[in-house]
Amino acid sequence: MKAPDKHYKFINSKTGNAISYFSLKAELTEAKIKVELEKAKNDVAVKNNLFAETIYWEEVKDGD
């Protein structure tokens, strides 16, 4: 059976607001997930005119 995708939200640490959502295949290694999330975080920062250091991600669990 195929593992479900993992979903993440990117949050502006200054406001606490979720500013973007991102999904990755669950079969990726933890190292590959981190690399992909860092790339996505930098893209979100550029698109929102923010410093990348002010953005962090959280995995979205069922019920969030």
CA distances from 11 to 1, 2, 38 (A): 32, 29, 13
| Amino acid in position 46 | V
Q: List the domain range (segments joined by +) for residue 23.
A: 6-60
Task: Return the pLDDT at 4.
Answer: 76
Q: Is residue 44 part of a domain?
A: yes
Task: Return the pLDDT at 16.
Answer: 97
Full-model pTM? 0.86
Distance (Å, whole) CA 18 – CA 55:
9
Q: What total of structural domains would you count in the chain?
A: 1
* Mean per-residue pLDDT, 43-61: 96
Mean confidence (pLDDT) of the chain: 92
3-state secondary structure of 25: coil
Give Cβ neighbours of residue 64 (< 8 Å, ≥ 6 apart): none
Q: Is residue 50 part of a domain?
A: yes
Q: Is residue 1 part of a domain?
A: no
